[in-house]
Chains A and B, each alone.
Chain A
């Protein structure tokens, strides 16, 4: 560690990191555009200027903090008039051609240009020249759209591809004030990591086609969570409009798991968490609104305690039940499922679909089971959907539990199960499965707390980002209740 002074305080700085990191770590408020901790620093935007002297009493000068190495004894001031002036000048240049269309810009509210201008800028512009007229909505592929006028040419997006995915796709085209960002040969962007561009672009130049005009960001609540699309379990922030409607999933820095990034599969996995409810009074055609039992006219909504009692009776009367949980089951849910397994004298399984072809050498593992490692550590055995269906066809009874367990087993296969099977399920939604006797609704992973264990053993946290629909109880509570009931009416009695 290198000892330096920042704003009058002696601090320790990491000699491998540029000065701007030390400033940020020790409370110095230094703006940045081209610098991003996950990308090679280029020192081009010049906004991060701070005043530096080699030692106390030495003459000081203004330098770009993101390209300045720390050196023993260096005296740094982030807050002097000279530093502020230099940054203000720089901002004025950056705003010279900026369209200032904040009222219609998705980035407004989380835009570094807006924020720093507010902090440091002068209220009034001095340019009367016409602003640059450029392409306002240039499609860069399926994920991202570029507004050339808003671009401040920080080149973060260019470096994202050269540094992170290692497959360069973007470049600066043209010279000087005629520079624009473009893909090579105008080809659309490719790959599973394009969405990150909208996050790292410090302004509203690169925006997400899916999120465009969906919400003003200041109306979004942000909840720490974990992505469920593969066993990497990237740390994410679930962002919901007025804490009700999930609008956007974004990566959240986690040094051990995903750094600053996430893949587009995870980012765009909105369907499973924004499913509409089934029509009022109905069981099918959307998310379950409450427990349902099989009546004369198929599945019918029912009182939950009655449904639990029925399930317990059925399972008690038909020993040898199978227990299969979803790969989305949290450690907390799986722990109560183990209680149930003991009551049922069943071997606990989790359904483990085959690896998909999304595996890459950055984040995606290709394994669609976010909690494989946690479930395995708890003693659950993986079972493939086909094998599970075959076992179900022969079983007297079964409990299938957890978010999307039916979907992963396959509705088509489930529909063919013999009706003599006594089947109890816990899921977000069901289809018309003739063998299904009792079904309970569950929350999605953005509607509950808990955690998963990722491929490398890191705990990924889940929090309640949006409330579950009325009448939907936690799965662990439901399973615990069933286990208690079964314990009271021993299986086989």
Chain B
């Protein structure tokens, strides 16, 4: 594989990479200093973010600069405004933000300061997945260091820019990573997503204008400010610029988090980055971007890993969390586990999602245990079409329906085999979770 410039993970290998000293030694906080002292206008910062073409790394790939520009004009709308950083990272397969928070927390803090400056936000709230204890502690320590150094709080670096950064620990719900569920949770309520409109930029945290961004999206900001849009666009492909963090897991020799430019094929990533499918086996299928993105069969492994190409292949780039399944994996079992996750994590507001995620799981579970019927396959498709697209408050229902449709489309024969035989020929003796609903029996 060709060599390419790296920046996202450039500091994580350094000793004490999470400390202010190391960060400063690497030129840290120069970007915010430049923004404040030159000084830039907020519009200039948003401008360079827009020009860079950075697309959100939280799953939907929405252009970050554009999102920032949606915040209302402060001269017409004097409400306080906020940045919420989505560090809930709970999509199965996704584990990239954690690396940044644990190893390079000051990078995220500098990103928050730049974003808050650009959007004239009073404060940033970082919503950290509850299980990420080290991330939380490292970030908190970094915030304390930065505050002591005059980088957070009132009159940052002696300028009239003031900004606070607060942390909030999640309590283990996937749905609190959905941006409006996150805001409800931050406000101390149940993480029930809010219907849109109103959109967060109009009415978000405490009914004030709010922007929600993924950790990695924010982390990119200081680099873009420092090096310019052209530099950023020189990496990747025209419509997916910069580098991204790949989290690759499953049946590969070298699972992990890697920094990559957009434009490699899935096969290149599996073979050249992750050391190939393990145990000398062949690839059967992969989720390109986390469990909510449609499963693709090995025959489609030549898809280029950027937002638009993966979409054209009928799936989604998502959070670039590739999950690799080798030839011995049973797709019915994989779907049983996947559907179980959504059944467990649906917040339960919307009828289709609450009942549908449970129903899909029950069907997959039966099929995987040899108790399915052929009619189940059409039912799976029909139910998924009743749940998505965009029929519910948030996209969790879609996240359950999309992989279902993909699995039935690409692996119908495998389900049919299980149903015909009355057992799963590929079943492995994996430890199985207890029956989900037995609490109600």
Contact = CB atoms under 8 A, between A and B. Distances in A.
Given A69-B197, A92-B386, A132-B440, A176 B351 contact: no
B348 A179 contact: yes
Interface stretch (A43-51, A314-322, A387-395, A421-429): A43-51
Interface stretch (A93-101, A373-381, A403-411): A93-101
B350 interface: yes
Interface in A110-128: 126-127
A176 B344 contact: yes
A172 interface: yes
Contacts of A126: 379, 382
B352 interface: yes
Nearest to B378: A126
Interface string B91-107: 00000000000000000
Interface string A160-200: 00000000000110111111000000000000000000000
Interface string B345-382: 11111111111111100110000000000000001001
Interface in B238-294: none
Given A44-B349, A46-B391, A89 B354 contact: no
A137 B325 CA distance: 47
Contacts of B168: none
Interface in B166-210: 173, 175, 190, 192, 195, 197
A127 B353 CA distance: 16
A93 B351 contact: yes
Given A93-B356, A152-B351, A175 B345 contact: yes
Contact of A129 (B195, B359, B382, B386): B359
Interface in A253-281: none
A178 B438 CA distance: 10
A49 B382 CA distance: 18
Interface in B8-64: none
B404 to A, nearest CB: 15
A107 interface: no
Contact of B437 (A62, A93, A132): A132
Contacts of B391: 46, 49, 62, 86, 89-90
B355 A175 contact: no
A44 B355 contact: no
Contact of A175 (B347, B351, B392): B347
B393 interface: yes
A250 interface: no
Contacts of B359: 93, 96, 127, 129
A371 B348 CA distance: 48
Contact of A177 (B354, B363, B390, B441): B354
B346 A93 contact: no
Nearest to A93: B355
Given A176-B346, A176-B358, A177-B357, A93 B352 contact: yes
B439 interface: yes
Interface in B317-353: 343-353
Interface residues of A, number: 37
Contacts of A174: 348
A47 B348 contact: no
A132 B387 CA distance: 20
A414 interface: no
Interface residues of B, number: 38
B175 to A, nearest CB: 8
Given A62-B391, A129-B359, A134-B440, A175 B349 contact: no
A45 B343 contact: no
B386 A93 contact: yes
Nearest to A153: B348
A133 interface: yes
Contact of A176 (B345, B352, B379, B390): B345
A153 B354 contact: yes
* B interface secondary structure, majority: helix
A152 B351 CA distance: 8
B351 to A, nearest CB: 5
A42 B197 CA distance: 11
Of B175, B192, B350, B362, the most chain A CB neighbours within 10 A belong to B350
Contacts of A338: none
Nearest to A134: B440
Interface string A63-77: 010010100000000
Contacts of A94: 351, 355
A202 to B, nearest CB: 12
A175 B346 contact: yes
A67 B345 CA distance: 24
A176 B347 contact: yes
A119 B387 CA distance: 21
B437 A89 contact: no
Given A44-B393, A67-B195, A129-B359, A176 B348 contact: yes
Given A62-B391, A175-B346, A177-B346, A133 B441 contact: yes
Nearest to A41: B195
Nearest to A94: B351
A357 to B, nearest CB: 34
A177 B392 contact: no
Of B175, B356, B440, the most chain A CB neighbours within 10 A belong to B440
A92 B383 CA distance: 9
A46 B351 contact: yes
Contact of A90 (B344, B345, B352, B385): B352
A172 B440 contact: no
Nearest to A67: B195
A201 to B, nearest CB: 16
Contacts of B353: 176
Contacts of B441: 133
A437 to B, nearest CB: 67
Given A90-B352, A129-B359, A176 B386 contact: no
Of B195, B347, B353, B382, the most chain A CB neighbours within 10 A belong to B195
A177 B351 contact: no
Nearest to B197: A69
A176 B357 contact: yes
Interface string A8-27: 00000000000000000000
Contacts of B352: 46, 89-90, 93
B386 A175 contact: no
B195 A43 contact: yes
Contacts of B175: 175
B349 A177 contact: no
B195 A175 contact: no
A129 B346 contact: no
Contacts of A177: 343, 346, 348, 354-355, 357-358, 437
A479 to B, nearest CB: 58
A25 B128 CA distance: 46
Nearest to B359: A96
Contacts of A69: 197
Contacts of A172: 190, 192, 348
A129 B362 contact: yes
B347 A153 contact: no
Contacts of A175: 173, 175, 344-348
Nearest to A66: B195
A259 B379 CA distance: 44
10 contacts: A44-B350, A45-B350, A46-B392, A89-B391, A97-B358, A126-B382, A132-B440, A133-B440, A175-B345, A176-B358
Interface of B: 173, 175, 190, 192, 195, 197, 343-359, 362-363, 379, 382, 385-387, 390-393, 437, 439-441
Interface of A: 42-47, 49, 61-62, 64, 67, 69, 86, 89-90, 92-94, 96-97, 126-127, 129, 132-134, 152-153, 155, 171-172, 174-179
Given A46-B392, A92-B386, A129-B363, 4 more contacts: A44-B349, A89-B352, A93-B387, A153-B349
